[in-house]
Structure 1
């Protein structure tokens, strides 16, 4: 395994890995990330709701 050093090399590697992952997703016939539906609530909103439930104040909508 080769150690990646420097900002330029890290950015280039990040781009290349992302490109390969997207290529693999497409080859497998899976849904591309940009084609996925957007959930009604964000993870932060869901976490906040769960925390309120845990604290016994679950009646409040986010």
Structure 2
């Protein structure tokens, strides 16, 4: 468990530093960004389907 705990702690610390840096630079915080209407998976699926359809 030590490896997993260390990875989780590192992930938390890196995320904290990234948020601090965004704040210092005056950027939009991730929590304040709008949510997309579709997930990446949905968009990729739609694009794949449209490529499979014959052109008229």
Q: What's the TM-score once normalised by structure 1's chain length?
A: 0.74
RMSD: 1.6
Aligned residues: 53
Q: Looking at both structures, which has the greater relative contact order when contacts are Cα pairs under 8 Å and sequence separation is at least 6?
A: 1
Q: TM-score, normalised by structure 2?
A: 0.80
Give runs of ≥4 in structure 1 deviating > 2 Å.
none
Q: For structure 1, which runs of at least 5 residues remain unmatched after alignment? A: 58-62
Q: Which runs of 5+ in 2 are unaligned?
A: none
